[in-house]
Amino acid sequence: MNRIVFGIALVFVSLMLAACGGSAPSTKQKLVVAIQPTLATDEMLEKSKPIEQYLESKLADVDVEMYVPLSQAGVIEALRFGQAQVAFMGAWPAHLAVEKAGAELAFAEVREVLMDGKKQNATYYYSYWVVPQDSPAQTLNDLKGKTVCFSSPVSTSGYVSPMGRLIELNMIPKPEKGEADAKAFFGNVVFGGGYQQCWEALKAGQVDVGIIAGDVPEKLYNEVLANTRVLEQQGPIPSHAILLSKELQEPLRSRVVDALQGLGEPQYREVMRGFISGIFVGLEKSSAEKHLAALKQYLKLAGLTFTEKISP
């Protein structure tokens, strides 16, 4: 009788499995990795495939999904509401993710950056105020009422840090509320959309002063510095970071950290350069307190609010 009952049960289970596609439901945990959108979604997902495959090989019982929100704010919200457990982010969004979503900064990107004309591997860099070599200005104070070109209103090195530096130098007032206004010193403020665009405007005489940063392509950096004079600098400015959601619990949390650390090994450098930044060198364990301290101070001084346009 027991054999008959066992046989019937076996047939029943087999039929159930066949009805469900021939396999038992997956028991794998899911790990969602959010990516700061810097390119079209399809292109970002294609570039992230090797990262997804690597993580799944290291976390054998985990289903890894790469997720590209429409905006950087979307990455923050994904961490905040548990829609993602890991995120690759720029410094300013990383700061907001820590403040607004309770995320933990686990790694800082080590980059090949330029400082004082020399290549260095660091988790930080500097940006510089530059004027044409024939400019009569000898200090930033000589540029009162002139036209400045900032790269972007969401750039840490091309806007946030320079604005904080102007306040440190007492050239514009620290706002009691709201945001600091560069027009309190400059006569006209232009956002070029990037360092290359601001350099073209400076060369053409359309602006009087611009910014260049140590994390731009070496060719652009050298071209700008060879044809300008540096009046002032600001920094250290933090590189990209990897953050973890507060919802990511042990023991998976420690396993994910170990797996992510492996992405900093030399054999993954080219993959990471195509994915996170073209000057990626490695990863360094860090914290928000350590990595984002200078940025936090600049934001506090300038009172700037993160805003961005979302592509349709």
- Enumerate the domain spans of the chain: 29-113+239-287, 124-237
Domain 124-237 carries which CATH code?
Answer: 3.40.190.10
pLDDT band at residue 4 under the 50/70/90 scheme: very low
* Structure tokens that stand for 152 in this block: 């972007």
Looking at the predicted structure, is the pLDDT value of residue 16 above 60?
no
Looking at the predicted structure, is the pLDDT value of residue 75 above 50?
yes
Using CA atoms, how far apart are residues 82 and 33, in angstroms rounded to an integer? 11
Looking at the predicted structure, is the pLDDT value of residue 49 above 50?
yes
Strand pairing report for 86-89 and 241-244: antiparallel
Contact 198, 192 (CB under 8 A): yes
What is the per-residue pLDDT for 12? 42
Looking at the predicted structure, is the pLDDT value of residue 173 above 90?
yes
Looking at the predicted structure, is the pLDDT value of residue 176 above 70?
yes
For 29-113+239-287, CATH number out of 1.10.357.10, 3.40.50.300, 2.40.110.10, 3.40.190.10 equals 3.40.190.10
pTM of the model: 0.84
Looking at the predicted structure, is the pLDDT value of residue 241 above 90?
yes
What is the per-residue pLDDT for 26? 56
Q: Is the peptide bond before 236 cis (omega within 30 degrees of 0)?
A: yes
pLDDT (mean) for 52-64:
95
